Chains A and B, each alone.
Chain A
Amino acid sequence: QKEVEQNSGPLSVPEGAIASLNCTYSDRGSQSFFWYRQYSGKSPELIMFIYSNGDKEDGRFTAQLNKASQYVSLLIRDSQPSDSATYLCAVNIGNNAGNMLTFGGGTRLMVKP
């Protein structure tokens, strides 16, 4: 079983719609959760992180964490064609001396005008 799982997609949404990206993780000791966006041929860039159960909003982005169910999601409101990219979920497992992140395989999002 993979430690961090994401649907590879592509997830296609029309411009202006809400895009919902999901991620599940296997280790209940996981403490920190991150979403990165990666445009084709570029390096990942941090969108947001979440540590506590519930929702965290930042502009058009909302991260949702449910530790009991071991999933974290990212909602993108008013999706724009410029949001088309691969979204990577990453998890920091506790007792990790190197502060390493384990990444999911990513979900490719396509926003159609």
Chain B
Amino acid sequence: SQTIHQWPATLVQPVGSPLSLECTVEGTSNPNLYWYRQAAGRGLQLLFYSVGIGQISSEVPQNLSASRPQDRQFILSSKKLLLSDSGFYLCAWTNSGNTIYFGEGSWLTVV
């Protein structure tokens, strides 16, 4: 069966510091991968999606970036965090079907 993992689960970072969130999927190949953000009390906002290695599409202009160095690995990064980057970050995947499955999520607090 397929599983998705992301880490770290929680982190507190100062303004201006870098960020790296990592996500891996197991049990499938060539998945579509996504990064969503959910601000407190808000809906899910799609940040990036990838249909293959090295292929990244950005939905929202911001100081975040994403990379897909391997088929089942998706990384969310920032060089300098802003207070507004705080939120719940979710990695997700899908393949042949339309159903999207989420990882456990990463809580980011920028202080």
Question: A residues bordering B, Cβ < 8 Å?
Answer: 31-32, 34, 41-46, 49, 88, 90, 92, 97-106
Q: Are A88 and B49 in contact (CB under 8 A)?
A: no
- Residues of chain B having any CB pair with chain A under 8 Å: 32, 34, 42-44, 46, 49, 51, 57, 90, 94, 98-105, 107
| A46–B99 touching, CB < 8 Å | yes
**Are B90 and A43 within 8 A (Cβ)?**
yes
A20 shortest CB reach to chain B, Å: 20
Known: A100-B34, A100-B49. A44 touches B98 (CB 8 A): no
Between A and B, 7 residue pairs with Cβ closer than 8 Å are: A41-B107, A42-B105, A43-B103, A46-B99, A98-B49, A99-B98, A104-B43
Q: Would A43 and B99 be within 8 Å (CB), given that A88-B43, A88-B44, A97-B51 are in contact?
A: no
A-side contacts of B34, CB under 8 Å: 98, 100
A100 to B25 alpha-carbon distance, docked (Å): 17
By a CB distance below 8 angstroms, the chain B residues around A100 are 34, 46, 49
Chain A residues in 8 Å Cβ range of B43: 88, 103-106
Interchain nearest-CB distance for B62 vs A (Å)? 17
CB distance from A2 to the nearest CB of B (A): 9
The chain A residue sitting closest to B49, CB to CB, is A98
Q: Is A43's CB under 8 angstroms from B102's CB? A: yes
The one of A31, A101, A106 in contact with B100, judged by C-beta atoms closer than 8 angstroms, is A101
